[in-house]
Structure 1
Amino acid sequence: MAETSKVTDLASAVAAHVADGMVIAMEGFGHLIPFAAAHEIIRQGRRELTLCRMTPDLLADQLIAADCARGLVASFFASGSAGSLHEVRRRIERSDPRPLEVEEYSHYGMVCRYQAGAARLPFFPLRSYAGSDLPKLNAQIRKVGDPYGGPDVYVVPALRPDVTVVHAQRADRCGNVQMWGILGAQQEAAYAARTVIVTVEEIVDAEVIRSDPNRTVIPGHAVTAVAHCPGGAHPSYSQGYYDRDNAFYREWTPISRDRAAVLAWLSQWVYEVPDREAYLERLGEQRWTGLRVADRPSQPVNYGRRASPVLEHS
């Protein structure tokens, strides 16, 4: 029986699956950050989203500046180690131009929330909040008694996004998604969500996926739509395809200090370009070439197969 293709274009995936008011997770931990998908959400004018993200970085700054998000559920607020998120700070510190609802967790707290959502559990226990001030700041972090007689433990509620969006190196047409390099909570966030959109550097044949199955982080049964989107993680990086654009992260800090400059950047780099291909063309061949990486293949792995047919016993 022929398998159904899940490949579509990014604009169609966002139009079909991302609606105003949704809870949307956009994961990728410094690596494989889904910037192209975020820009398409901005381009389509989605509003009142709750954005969930470990290390929200400048992806959050851009979505919030575009007035797409009313809330942020996150851990560690920073612009990729290059400075503050000034758009986020304006919202939190001065409600400028309007307030931002914020739920802050530790990195592990966010992972535990996704794990609980993926397992369909109501909450997840963890010990790492002992001695922390976060429970005082976030009423969702609570203590419960150990039913087996141990000390009380902190718990965090399950997180079940309406949509999870991730970027990856490759997938086949059935949505089997492979990643390598630094991973974050992509798998947990995908299984926790009702809908999963994946953008990828390459669409490959199923035989490529089957040749190295351990790299399949998100199997096709958990994926709703796959969009071919080369360069979809820029300015973050995609291991084996292109490097992190550190200059971009440094450039963002002075831009984000000035709301007018942020809006001008969104106009030039999001609203005035129809898709990621046009974005990369505007970025310029010289800059893109400077981010290319040399080959460094991993060593082959022999998965083995039966050398002779199974003998039938009478």
Structure 2
Amino acid sequence: MSEAIGGYVHDGATVALEGFTHLIPFAAGHEIIRQGRRGLTLVRMTPDIIADQLVAAGAVEKMIFAFTGNSSVGSLYAIRRAVEQAEPRPLHLEEYSHYGLLARYQAGAADIPFMPVRSYAGSDLPEVNTNLRKVANPYADDLETFVVPPIQPDVTIVHAQRADRYGNIQAWGILGPQQEAAFAARHVVAVVEEIVDDDIIRRDPNRTTIPGFAVDAVVECPRGTHPSFAQGYYDRDNTFYRGWSAISKDPAALQQWLHDWVYTVENHQDYLRKLGDSHFNDLIPHPHLSEPVNYGSTR
């Protein structure tokens, strides 16, 4: 992880951290903090606790997003302080709808100048985001439509369940904009629960969401999304989410948490050792297998 983050996340970079509800790359975010990165533009469809931590650590100067909050549990007070009071430093916001940001990724992946998005008609967002503009329909003179510009992050970081040694990434559950964000980026770092034999990936090719040719680095990091979850591996740590608001609300408590769980922890393995194996006893899901698929062949 330290090599991947050190090699692809640089000061001033535009960094997409994607994972929607689950597969949120917390371990990668902590390594960004640990390495002391500054001046980042954070792109994330739903910035939650990991964004709050990055902002509190002074790593982020701009956030491009669609929704931010502590997953319906509470507010993110480090982000609020940065926006409202410029503490620890100012935070600039660039807000879209969920589909608007997805369309930016799609335009970036296709390397086209813009993507039309009809849903901004009647919205207040164009009043606060000058990137939301209208263009004439070349096929009908009386119609205009909103468009968004492409985004091509310097690096996209995703977390997934598994990959092979070539970087073919397989994920299941809610995927969100992982694939689009990866294809739009100049570099991709994929963090996975496990690296598996090539044959496991080849036996189920349709589950490959990001092919190896698009991936620059693969990091095996079990339980690397905690307190988020990885479908089928471990559940969300709701106790952590419910407790975060009190930590986030108190700047001193938040800095102490970063000291105890990020700065003085060498890596995610040390983080897990500090949590203890028993912490996950109630987070291991019951098996719920899908039916096998017959990829029959004449050979």
TM-score normalised according to structure 1 size: 0.93
The whole-number CA distance in structure 1 between the counterparts of 2:71 and 2:268 is 21
The whole-number CA distance in structure 1 between the counterparts of 2:288 and 2:155 is 34
The aligned counterpart of 2:153 is: 161
Match of 1:124 among 112, 115, 132: 115
* Superposed counterparts of 1:168-187, under 5 Å: 168-187=160-179
Helix, strand or coil at the partner of 2:294: coil
Helix, strand or coil at the partner of 1:214: helix
Match of 1:292 among 274, 284, 299: 284
CA contact (8 A) 2:156 2:189 kept: yes
CA offset at residue 306 of structure 1? 1.1
The whole-number CA distance in structure 2 between the counterparts of 1:122 and 1:262 is 41
CA contact (8 A) 2:56 2:88 kept: no
The aligned counterpart of 2:253 is: 261
CA offset at residue 189 of structure 1? 0.3
CA offset at residue 259 of structure 1? 1.1
Matched, 1:27 2:18: yes
The whole-number CA distance in structure 2 between the counterparts of 1:50 and 1:259 is 22
Match of 1:138 among 129, 149, 164: 129
Matched, 1:304 2:299: no
Point out the more displaced range, 29-38 or 79-88.
Answer: 79-88
Point out the more displaced range, 212-221 or 149-158.
Answer: 149-158
Matched, 1:66 2:57: yes
Identity %: 58
CA contact (8 A) 2:157 2:188 kept: yes
> Structure 1: where are the runs of 5+ without partners?
1-9, 308-314
Helix, strand or coil at the partner of 1:37: helix
CA contact (8 A) 1:280 1:288 kept: no
The aligned counterpart of 2:95 is: 104
TM-score normalised according to structure 2 size: 0.98
* Superposed counterparts of 1:178-197, under 5 Å: 178-197=170-189
CA offset at residue 223 of structure 1? 0.3
The whole-number CA distance in structure 2 between the counterparts of 1:29 and 1:11 is 24
Match of 1:249 among 241, 246, 251: 241
CA offset at residue 286 of structure 1? 2.0
Letter in 2 for 1:77: T
The whole-number CA distance in structure 1 between the counterparts of 2:71 and 2:240 is 10
Provide runs of 4+ in structure 1 moved above 6 Å. none
> Structure 2: where are the runs of 5+ without partners?
none
CA offset at residue 294 of structure 1? 1.9
Letter in 2 for 1:192: A
The aligned counterpart of 1:235 is: 227
Match of 2:30 among 15, 27, 39: 39
CA contact (8 A) 1:176 1:218 kept: yes
Aligned length: 298
CA offset at residue 238 of structure 1? 0.2
CA contact (8 A) 1:175 1:220 kept: yes
The whole-number CA distance in structure 2 between the counterparts of 1:126 and 1:16 is 35
What's the RMSD between the two structures over aligned residues? 0.9
Helix, strand or coil at the partner of 1:128: helix
Letter in 1 for 2:78: E
